[in-house]
Amino acid sequence: MINGLSISVPVELIMPQIQAAIQASIDECMKNQPQPDPQYTAEQVAHLLNVDVQTVHDYTRLEAGHPRRLPYVVTHDSFKGKRFLLSDITAWQRRNQIDALQQVIPLVPKRPARRRATRKAA
């Protein structure tokens, strides 16, 4: 009531606008929140990278400063114990793709095979 004036509006008319404004506010807040980083098992990472599972485990055993070392998260809720974050996998791919592109492998022609002296049949 403002200066003796009151306005009555049915709730059914304004409720959709209120709900839309609330939903827009929620969407804006959720957009600014950090998104979860999915975790993968060694088998899933091997499938993503198109390598053998043992190769993935070998990448995790490399020393800390090695460019091919694949970081992982230790989990205790699984008997396998290692999970790989998607952000770490994509960073590993970018790092090793650039490394592979910068590395120049010289093409050295192979020496012709030496032929063994054949024995003459007696």
The answer to whether residue 18 is domain-embedded is no
More confident residue, 85 or 12: 85
Cα distance between residue 92 and residue 46, in whole Å:
13
Domain total in the chain: 1
pLDDT interval class at 81 (50, 70, 90): confident
The answer to whether residue 90 is domain-embedded is yes
pLDDT of residue 115: 65
Is residue 121 pLDDT above 80, yes or no? no
Is residue 38 pLDDT above 70, yes or no? yes
pLDDT of residue 80: 67
* Residue 4, phi-psi category: left (phi > 0), alpha (psi -120 to 50), beta (remainder): left
Share of the chain above pLDDT 90, in %: 23
Q: Tell me the one-letter amino acid at 13.
A: L
Cα distance between residue 64 and residue 66, in whole Å:
6
- Report the CATH number that the domain containing residue 82 is assigned in CATH: 1.10.1660
Average pLDDT of the segment spanning 89-115: 68
Count of CB atoms situated within 10 Å of the CB of 48: 15
The answer to whether residue 4 is domain-embedded is no
* Residue 71, phi-psi category: left (phi > 0), alpha (psi -120 to 50), beta (remainder): beta
The answer to whether residue 76 is domain-embedded is yes
pLDDT interval class at 59 (50, 70, 90): very high
